Amino acid sequence: MIRILIVDDSAFMRKLLSDLFTGEKDFVVVDTARNGKEAVEKTKLLQPDLVTLDVEMPIMDGLEALRLIMQETPTPVMMVSSLTKAGADATMRALDLGAVDFIAKTNGPISSIQDIRQEILAKAREAVRVNVRHLARPQAAPIAPRSVLPFGGGIQGTDKIIAIGTSTGGPRALQEIITRLPKNLPCGVLIVQHMPPGFTRSLAERLNSLSDVQVKEAEPNEPIRPGWVYIAPGDHHMRVERNGGQKILRLTQDPLIGGHRPAVDPMFDSVAQTYGKQTVAVLLTGMGHDGAQGMKKIKENHGFTIAEDQSTSVVFGMPKSAIELGVVDRVVPLQAVAAEIIKAVSL
């Protein structure tokens, strides 16, 4: 049984989430809390397997509660976030503080939660399997963005592309990598992070504020430029297409793939076709197997492939699937991924 503590200042949301989880045979709601102070106390007392934590609450908000929980009683935490700009920004901070994942809370009728019932349950079941000890470690003070390897002027004309796919645990992993890419990176970077609309823009803005490279949420028909990082917007697949002498980004709302939009596979498929052996593809932490088949196509087109090692993956699902297919050239811990990318681009 998965023992869960539900924290929300709304009695309606507490009831809604309680009913959702108690309707499943493998969950039991051990208690509820109305604010962050109660959340910290009850987490310490009850030792739940999972905490769902609202962001905006009286007395103590969710971010401060999360910080104390990860400091005093490290526990898998899933944030419950509002679909607002402020809510998305707070969610990015929560993921940086050690939250495993989040669900987007709507202000609509009960059916709005029921529509994402299976997603919530899947995320909760995956979250309890995560070892949060490494997420709870105190982080060093932010360092100035730096190059791993310098680039010479002769490499600026390369026609390579870096394509990265990730899901659960991705925002922190992306911060580790993108902040280490040099300003004179000679190619563009494409990222698919499983996230709903609004949250991908906050992720892009946060990474841009910390990085030497330019990071933005991708726009329709945008040309790919060296030294720029493009994050697929929530609810849109992102592909690359040729347009005369340019390569541009195509955003679509084609059907979900494996339950995801954006999904990694269509992005990987398109770069395999468009860039071939000039592709450097990376699969980071995430549940499921999105990206594995796309990485296989990249490998068949002689691209270079990298997967995050199990030792640093919050969830070793997506990298594991590609490794088991035998389509990964390098398996390295997160701290070594940026260096591997830059070595591959500079060859």
CB atoms within 10 A of CB 336: 16
Residues with Cβ within 8 Å of 138's Cβ and at least 6 positions away in sequence, in order, are none
Q: Is-catalytic flag, 290?
A: yes
Tell me the C-alpha distance between 269 and 294, whole Å.
Answer: 5
Tell me the C-alpha distance between 83 and 298, whole Å.
Answer: 35
* CA-closest candidate to residue 232, choices 324, 163, 179: 163
Rg (CA), the chain: 20
Q: Which of 260, 290, 313, 321 is catalytic?
A: 290
The DSSP string of 299-342 is HHTT-EEEEE-TTT-SSBSHHHHHHHTT--SEEE-HHHHHHHHH
Strands 246-252 and 237-243: antiparallel
Q: Which of 18, 194, 202, 236 is catalytic?
A: 194
Element (H, E) at 164: strand 161-166
Q: Sign of torsion, CA 297 257 340 233? A: positive
Q: Which of 81, 82, 167, 202 is catalytic?
A: 167
- Assign 32 to helix, strand or coil: strand
Element (H, E) at 81: strand 77-82
Q: Is-catalytic flag, 134?
A: no
Q: Is-catalytic flag, 265?
A: no
CA distances from 342 to 14, 147, 328 (A): 47, 9, 17
| Max CA separation in the chain (angstroms) | 63
- DSSP class of residue 136 equals H
Phi and psi angles of residue 163, each rounded to the nearest 5 degrees, phi first? -125, 125
Q: Residues 286, 310: contact at Cβ < 8 Å?
A: no
Q: Residues 333, 313: contact at Cβ < 8 Å?
A: no
Residues carrying an active site annotation: 167, 194, 290
